[in-house]
Amino acid sequence: MHLIQIKNLHAAIDGKPILKGLNLTIDRGQIHAVMGPNGAGKSTLAKILAGHPAYEVTEGEIWFKGQNLLEMAPEERAHAGLFMSFQYPVEITGVSNRQFLQIALNAQRKSRGDEPLSNEEFEQLLKEKMVMMDVRSEFSERSINEGFSGGEKKRNEILQMALFNPDLAILDETDSGLDIDAMRIVAAGVNQMRNQDNGLLIITHYQRLLDYIRPDFVHVLADGQIVRTGGAELAQELEAKGYA
Amino acid sequence: MTQLVFVDGHFTPSLSSIPPQIVCLPMQEAHKTYGLFLKKRWTHLPDTGVFVYVPPNIRLTAPIHLLHVFNGPSPATPLLQIVVGKGSSIEWLQSSQFLTDTPHMNGTIDFALEAGASAKFVDVQLLPKEARSSFSIRSTLKRDANLSIFHATNGAKEARFSANAELLEEQGNALLEALAMLSGERRSDIHALMEHAAPHCTSRQTIKMALSGQSRSHFEGKIYVRPIAQKTEAYQLNKQLLLSDQAIATAKPNLEIFADDVKASHGATVSQLNDEELFYLCSRGLSPSIAKSLLIEGFCRELIDKVPHMQAALLEEMRKL
């Protein structure tokens, strides 16, 4: 069974078609990168996979671990092991990171029939991941993403990924707004999580993140469709020659 | 515990216990010694209620509880005149107990803060839904005086709270924080006036209202800066969160500024829960109902956490939203 299989996906926002017959299959243990110019539909793809209500799927199917993803609510997708790192993580005033992450992790555990983590167990796990992602210790008591720099917000996304340990992680433009040190930390976090059982979809405009996280496949998304597929070397070619 | 108890609006000395350092007199007795002062503050000299005087340089560390007990539906009109002497400080915690489902209260407090005095007034009104309650605080602040007013309510048939502060001399500070959490058909009206009548004073207002069901809220606030009140800093923020299609929120923020060297701002928002925030939380595995309660808590918690002694009761009201 494929980890995820996207078949002939058509999608629109506010009646405007964005994706026009996209096909993509990812198996466990694989890293795929989707690259493409602005407006090609890269972020639309990420948001549809996570279940954003503003996007309307007009045609096509998505199967995630054998389940019909399009029938699942966003929280059910998370429970099933899908994670999307937001391009623009939202700031939520008054809700602490710690509270949010503990509720989220325990909701995911509950859906899989696992016991919730106690405060102490969660604290320990969070601390470990915070060290890994080089996140400041005051982070856990602060409101979600409030007052975080762009780089901190992205590190927070990867920290969540490390915490939830999803089967499929989608990184939507995670490299945008990251300086080179932050990029190394993010890449190290991602690489540490890589194994034969999970898959990764990296959506990016530039090749630079792919210098740190080497993809098995690179796809070019243009005008709502995958127009080219190749190996890691395709990213270098695109960087040199552009998308045209 | 030090407390002042009013039963159906009448001061009840037998249930009250006052720290020995402060003067506490039934209003009619206060006429004899403090008549001149009282005449200046009241157009009609009150003949009921309580007069409290904190002599200079007394810093009361423990708060005084101001407890109202309601036995029946007839209108209760508790009244307090509180004078805080030079350099003294006092904290009041006001709450109510209801032995009737239809209490009717019309309460008034007048605070006179002398130079360097500070007063904190924390009012938590958890009312029966058929209650009719109107409560006004007015205050004057002399040099370096600090007044902090907190009000939280779950609303009622009528629940009106009004707070006025007049900053008479330099370096006075007035703070108003209020939270209304309204469910069902409850309503809450909050009115505020910060009047800057001297230079170098600050005032701050933060009023949050969350509404579910068919509840209604109204906020009306004014910052008034007289021509003499240069270097004023005055801020007003009203945020209202609508959690249902039938709830109605209105806001009327006002600034009237007649001085030219002033920092002042006002903001009023009426909004629903943010869809992007909800999606973010759900995409991490939270059910929509848990995500909503987390966002509501995020909205209310900042103010609830300011009153540890009533935190549990307020969280319970929050969960009814």
- B305 close to A (CB below 8 A): no
Task: Indicate the pLDDT class of residue B283, thresholds 50, 70 and 90.
Answer: very high
> Where do the H-state alpha helices sit in chain A?
42-50, 74-80, 97-111, 119-132, 150-164, 180-193, 232-241
What kind and span of H or E run contains A176?
Answer: none
Q: Summarize pLDDT for B170-196 with one digit per residue, the tens.
A: 999 999 999 999 999 999 999 999 999
Please check whether residue A199 is in contact with residue A167, taking contact to mean a CB–CB distance below 8 angstroms. yes
Average pLDDT over residues B98-126: 97
The CA distance from B255 to B225, in Å, is 8
Q: Summarize pLDDT for B116-149 with one digit per residue, the tens.
A: 999 999 999 999 999 999 999 999 999 999 999 9
Please check whether residue B150 is in contact with residue B177, taking contact to mean a CB–CB distance below 8 angstroms. yes
Domains of chain A: 4-95+143-241 (3.40.50.300)
| pLDDT value at residue A38 | 86
- A74 close to B (CB below 8 A): yes
- A84 close to B (CB below 8 A): yes
The CA distance from A171 to A191, in Å, is 13
Q: Shortest CB distance from B285 goes to which of A86, A92, A104?
A: A104
CB–CB contact B285 A108 (8 Å)? yes
The CA distance from A158 to A105, in Å, is 14
Pairing type for strands B132-141 and A67-68 reads: unpaired
- Chain centroid to Cα B72, Å, comes to 24
Q: Shortest CB distance from B284 goes to which of A53, A78, A99?
A: A78
CB–CB contact B283 A78 (8 Å)? yes
- The pLDDT mean for chain B works out to 96
| pLDDT value at residue A152 | 87
- The pLDDT mean for chain A works out to 93
Please check whether residue A41 is in contact with residue A224, taking contact to mean a CB–CB distance below 8 angstroms. yes
- Calculate how close chain A gets to B280, using CA atoms only, in Å: 7
Q: At B132, is the secondary structure helix, strand, or coil?
A: strand
Domain boundaries of chain B, sorted by first residue: 3-273
Please check whether residue A204 is in contact with residue A235, taking contact to mean a CB–CB distance below 8 angstroms. no
The CA distance from A242 to A36, in Å, is 9
- Say how many CA atoms lie within 13 Å of B118 toward its Cβ: 12
- Residue of A48, A52, A76, A77 to mutate, testing the B interface (most B Cβ within 10 Å of its Cβ): A52
Q: What is the DSSP string of B66-112?
A: EEEEE-SSS-B--EEEEEE-TT-EEEEEEEEEESSSS-EEEEEEEEE
Q: Which of A152, A144, A149, A147 is nearest to A96 (CA)?
A: A144
Q: What is the pTM of this model?
A: 0.92
Q: For the CA atoms of chain B, what is the radius of gyration?
A: 20
Q: Where are the beta strands (DSSP E) in B114-157?
A: 118-125, 132-141, 146-153
Q: Summarize pLDDT for A145-204 with one digit per residue, the tens.
A: 998 888 889 989 999 999 999 999 999 999 888 888 888 888 998 998 889 999 999 999
| pLDDT value at residue B292 | 96
| pLDDT value at residue A134 | 84
Q: Which residues of chain B neighbour A105 with C-beta distances below 8 Å? A: 285
Q: Shortest CB distance from B283 goes to which of A51, A94, A111?
A: A51
The residues of chain A scoring below 70 in pLDDT are 244
- A64 close to B (CB below 8 A): no
| pLDDT value at residue A243 | 79
- B254 close to A (CB below 8 A): no
Please check whether residue A207 is in contact with residue A235, taking contact to mean a CB–CB distance below 8 angstroms. yes
- B278 close to A (CB below 8 A): no
